[in-house]
Structure 1
Amino acid sequence: MTATTVSEGGGGASGGDTSPPPAPPEIFRLAVESLTNTAVRSEVRVEPLRPPQRLAPYSYAVSAEIIDGEGKDLATGRLVLLHDPDGHEAWDGVLRLVAYASAELDDEMGVDPMLPAVGWSWLTDSLDERAAAYRAAGGTVTQTTSTRFGDLHGPRTAVSIELRASWTVDTADLSPHLLAFVDLLCTAAGLPPEGVTALSSS
Structure 2
Amino acid sequence: MSNKPTGELYVISAASGTGKTSLIAALLERCPQLALSVSDTTRPARRGEIDGQHYHFIDAEDFRQGIAQQRYLEHAEVYGNYYGTSRERVEQAWASGRDVLLEIDVQGAEQVRQAFPDAALIFILPPSMATLEARLKGRGLDEPAVVQRRLDEARGEIAACEQFDWLLINDDFDRAVDDLEAVIAAWPLRRRRGIGHARCLLDAETNPITIKD
The structure number with the bigger radius of gyration is 2
Query: TM-score band, normalised by the shorter chain?
Result: under 0.3
Instruction: Answer 1 or 2: which has greater helix percent.
Output: 2
TM-score where L is the length of structure 1: 0.26
Instruction: Answer 1 or 2: which has greater strand percent.
Output: 1
TM-score where L is the length of structure 2: 0.25
Structure with larger RCO (C-alpha < 8 A, sep 6+): 2
